[in-house]
Chain A
Amino acid sequence: MQVTRSLVKRALRMLLSIVSVVLLGGLIAAGIMQLAPGFGVDARELDPRLNRDSVEAIRAARSREGNPLGFYFRYLHRIAHGDFGVSQSLGRPVAELLAERVPATVRTVTGGVLCGWSAGLGLALLACLVRTGVLDAVSGTLSAFFLCIPSSVLALFLVFLSPPERRVSTSVTLAIALVVFPRIYRFSRGILGQVLLMPHLLAARARGLPSGRVLFLHALPAAAPAILALGGVSLSVALSASIPIEAICDWPGIGQLAWQASLERDLPLLLILTLLITVVVVTANSMASLVGELTPGGAAK
């Protein structure tokens, strides 16, 4: 009963934190936009085909939007009533665009994060288990190599190298996995290395306990909260990487939509995308820390 009450209390606190972070995050985004030198300028005003009346109409529509903070609160009010607005550049309802694009990004980002985690954590565990300099050097070099390449260049080379029969989604998923992998590997390897140096684990190994047993039954549970906390971060990294990767691979997801909206200066669409990604990242971070707390290592703390 006590445990259930504590869990409910923690879940409510998490929900409150998510809502407040999303609202404040959107406010910061709107505030930073207000500071940008070109806020309120519409590229359509430079279109020579438009006459003076049309340009004035565009300016009047812009001025009705008011300052970005007013625009943000009005936008929140509309969202609360289920109206996500209309994309200025594409001339289509934002809700319709999201319904089209979100599944594509969910598929590739989920696949990429899972593959990146499997490769990164798997290799880190193997390096800790085998403990040979060669494997450490090879895995370290591999992770450093992928850490040093911009995700857009990675996507470009995957597009060049992919056989024509390979689906675009596979290239996008692979590119995201290669962006996530080095971060997971380096962090997990570092944390596991530190945990394995703890006195009781050194003593366990000195007493002849098998390395696998020490690693999987003692070191991994102790390192689990810190490693799991990376879950939210890895999702954030994957979503950020999805912008250049989807743009380069021509994959119709949220990242490509954000890029197109940025090139077309489509502010309402960009704001809703920023809010959407903030919700996903904050929820993932909260879930990761909650799961971390529920692990034996987290509970011990």
Chain B
Amino acid sequence: MRVALRRIAIGVLITVYGVCLAADVLAPAGYATQFRDSPGAPPSRAFPLGTDELGRDLLSRLLYGTRLSLVLAPAAALLATLLAAGAGSLAGYAGGWLGAGVLRVADLFMSLPWLFLLLTVRATLPLNTRPEDSVLITFLLLGLLGWAAPACVVAAAAGTLRGSEFALHARASGVSNARFILVQVLPNLKPVLLAQFWIAVPVFILSEANLGLLGLGVGEPLPSWGNLLRGLESLHALQTNPWLAAPAALLLIVVACFHLVVPLEDYSK
């Protein structure tokens, strides 16, 4: 059952990725193009999901926004995973004071209320920050702040490799520590790193969505799931235009698919 769901989830993710990467071809209009005579228009042949209050085609914005979130969230997760791989394998394999030191720093990062930290850094961005820069900074911060928890998991896994027989053989044959970490430890940590990557992606997507809904995420006119969700803020608008919930529905489906890709037992690590 779980395997079947996993296959379906991978299929859905591939489809969503395929569609949003082809946004330039599939989108009926540009994400910032305004149709001033049709603000808040209901779905029609010209606007399949209607338009927002500024007359921008919602389907186009959804496609471009999905592309942005689905490309940058995995990029941030990759950054966090790479940092975790470096720090975790060093801590786990080296052990001793160096390992303890790295784990202390990871503990320190995990103790920081990172959403508060993110708000603080967002607050110090200049008012004239370009939307493209704001989106990169948002996801870069997510990647830089998200390495600590995966690093602890990687360190635990690397620690078990340290005591294994092949590590003993390698040390006995004079393999250097750096070479052993790069050639032996990291490839053996691939399943752990992959699981941590898949766990981080939905976390970053949801963080961006929360920040966007609060007006602290990706700057307009660039669309992202976060600022598209702001269409939900008015109950009246939602009751008259239920298609405004389309970004929320797509977000729910995609995040669920990311969670399904990770085996359940990886959550208890």
Q: Footprint of B on A, CB under 8 Å?
A: 21, 24-25, 28-29, 32-33, 36-39, 41, 43, 46, 137, 140, 144-145, 147-153, 156, 160, 186-187, 189-191, 193-194, 226, 236, 239-240, 243-244, 247-248, 258-259, 261-267, 270-271, 273-274, 277-278, 281-282, 285
Contacts and interface: CB of A to CB of B under 8 A. Distances in A.
Contacts of B202: 147-148
A200 B226 CA distance: 49
Interface string B183-203: 000000000000000000010
Interface in B98-125: 107-109, 111-117, 119-125
Contacts of A271: 120
Given A243-B214, A270-B116, A186 B267 contact: yes
B232 interface: yes
B76 to A, nearest CB: 16
Interface stretch (B42-50, B83-91, B252-260): B252-260
A144 B129 CA distance: 36
Interface string B36-56: 000000000000000000000
B268 A274 contact: no
Contact of B248 (A153, A248, A281): A153
Contacts, number: 154
Given A36-B121, A37-B129, A262-B123, A152 B209 contact: yes
Given A32-B117, A239-B113, A271-B120, 18 more contacts: A25-B111, A36-B124, A37-B125, A144-B256, A150-B213, A156-B232, A187-B268, A190-B264, A190-B267, A194-B268, A244-B210, A244-B214, A248-B213, A263-B216, A278-B111, A278-B113, A281-B111, A281-B113
Contact of B268 (A191, A243, A247, A261): A191
Interface string B216-254: 100000000000010011010010000000001001100
A21 to B, nearest CB: 5
A277 B210 CA distance: 19
Contacts of B264: 140, 186, 189-190
Given A25-B108, A152-B213, A274-B113, A190 B123 contact: no
A97 to B, nearest CB: 15
Contacts of B119: 243, 258-259, 261-262, 270
Contacts of B112: 25, 28-29, 274, 278
A12 B232 CA distance: 49
B218 to A, nearest CB: 14
Which 10 A/B pairs are nearest by Cβ-Cβ distance?
Answer: A190-B268, A38-B126, A36-B124, A262-B119, A277-B113, A240-B115, A148-B255, A150-B209, A152-B213, A262-B123
Contact of A244 (B108, B213, B235, B259): B213
Given A33-B121, A243-B119, A28 B214 contact: no
B127 A258 contact: no
Contacts of B251: 148, 150
B18 interface: no
A144 B117 contact: no
A285 B127 contact: no
B120 A21 contact: no
Given A32-B121, A236-B113, A262-B122, A149 B108 contact: no
Interface of B: 1, 107-109, 111-117, 119-127, 129, 133, 137, 202, 206, 209-210, 213-216, 229, 232-233, 235, 238, 248, 251-252, 255-256, 259-260, 264-265, 267-268
B29 to A, nearest CB: 26
Nearest to A239: B113
B113 A150 contact: no
B120 A33 contact: yes
Contact of B259 (A46, A144, A156): A144
21 contacts: A29-B112, A36-B125, A38-B124, A38-B126, A39-B124, A41-B126, A148-B252, A148-B259, A152-B210, A190-B264, A191-B268, A193-B268, A244-B210, A259-B119, A259-B216, A261-B119, A264-B123, A265-B123, A267-B123, A273-B116, A282-B111
Contacts of B214: 152, 243-244, 247, 259
A8 B202 CA distance: 42
B111 A285 contact: yes
Contacts of A262: 119-120, 122-123, 216
A248 B123 CA distance: 19
A207 B84 CA distance: 44
Contacts of A37: 124-126, 129, 133, 137
A143 B256 CA distance: 11
